[in-house]
Structure formats: structure tokens, C-alpha cells
Structure 1
Amino acid sequence: MTDRTEITLTVGNDDFDFVVDPAVMTKYINSLTPANKVAPGNNLLINTVVPAQKDKLKPLLANPMTVLQIAGALVEEYAPTVEVTVKKRSGTPSA
């Protein structure tokens, strides 16, 4: 994965361009807590949308469910597809 990924999301009839990198995604993930998901999602969107589109995006972020949906779509699109397999452990403990 490159350091910087450009992602376009269509929300309603409007396209929004976001620029995401590992640092901003790490900051987002580290700020999530069981009681705090909307503010980190809002910050992720505001900090990654291209500056010219920020004013058009802000009214959509008034609804917390919209924040979660847009942030979720952005995170899902950014995430690489990685195949993970869990291997079964043997029944005997190793010494």
C-alpha cells in the first residue's frame, strides 16, 4: 500500500475526495473508544476531505449516523484486502 491513498466517495448526489495515509488512519483508530466513535469519525472526515470540499461536507456531519456511515465507507475502502488464516493448535502443549 502506498503512503497516500486518494478515495472518492459519493454521498447522495455529491462526490467527495479524501486523501488518507497511515498516520491519519492510525490516529483515527487510536482515538476510538467504546463511548466515543462519532467525534473520531468526524475528525477523520474533516481532516482527510480535500479543502475545497470541506464546507460542502460539514452540513452532512450534523447527523452522527451520517458521520459513522461516511467514515465507515472511507475506512472500508482504505483497508487492504488481506487473507488471514488461523491455524489450529495441536492438543499437546509445547515445553
Structure 2
Amino acid sequence: MKKNIALLIAGTSIGFTMTTEDYNGYLNEIMPDNKVAPAHNLVMRTVEADSKEALRGILDTSPGASMQIAGLLTQEFAPSIEISVKK
């Protein structure tokens, strides 16, 4: 699966293209003591080429932005579904 996602970040439109491989790779990289690097890698790996420079500027001036962006990307790519136990 491949999905184009546009986010408005600090007033700037930034485009991303996420695939199932990107999503799964991000989840597999997350460790209890390592969450920021996988988030940064995900946003830089999936940002569209024409948005890369603008994204770098945002990440350089906004601590924690990569975590927030990664959270929105994964939420948009794989939204929650309702699951319950059938008895």
C-alpha cells in the first residue's frame, strides 16, 4: 500500500509518501530507549523531494517536531479500527 499525505506544519504544506514498508520499518525500529531517531528517519525517508528543505528547516527549529509529525503520519496511514472480542 502507498499513500500520499499532506500536512500543514507551522503554516507550510509538506507532502509525504508512505508505504507499508515505511510504516512497518518505523514500528520495528522503535525501542523503549530509542524513539526520536526512528521518528526522524521516518519523516525524512517519506517526505517528498520538493518539501525536504522546508521540513529540514522546521525540524531544526522545533524540538520534538519529528515525533509529532511521525505520530500524525502513522495515524493517517493506518487509522484505528474497531476491534472487539467476540464471545
Please confirm whether the aligned pair reaches a TM-score higher than 0.5, indicating the same fold. yes
Alignment-derived partner of residue 66 in structure 2: 67
Identity %: 36
Deviation at 1:52, TM superposition (A): 1.2
Alignment-derived partner of residue 28 in structure 2: 30
SS of the residue 2:73 aligns to: helix
Equivalent residues in 2 for 1:69-84, closer than 5 Å: 69-84=68-83
SS of the residue 1:86 aligns to: coil
Unmatched 5+ residue regions in structure 2?
none
Alignment partner of 1:50 is 2:61? no
Task: Indicate conservation of the 8 Å contact 1:41/1:71, yes or no.
Answer: yes
Whole-Å Cα distance in 2 between the matches of residues 78 and 64 of structure 1?
A: 23
Aligned-residue Cα RMSD (Å) equals 1.4
Whole-Å Cα distance in 2 between the matches of residues 41 and 5 of structure 1?
A: 18
TM-score (norm 2): 0.89
Task: Indicate conservation of the 8 Å contact 1:5/1:78, yes or no.
Answer: yes
Specify the structure having the higher radius of gyration (Cα).
Answer: 1
Length, aligned pairs only? 86
TM-score (norm 1): 0.82
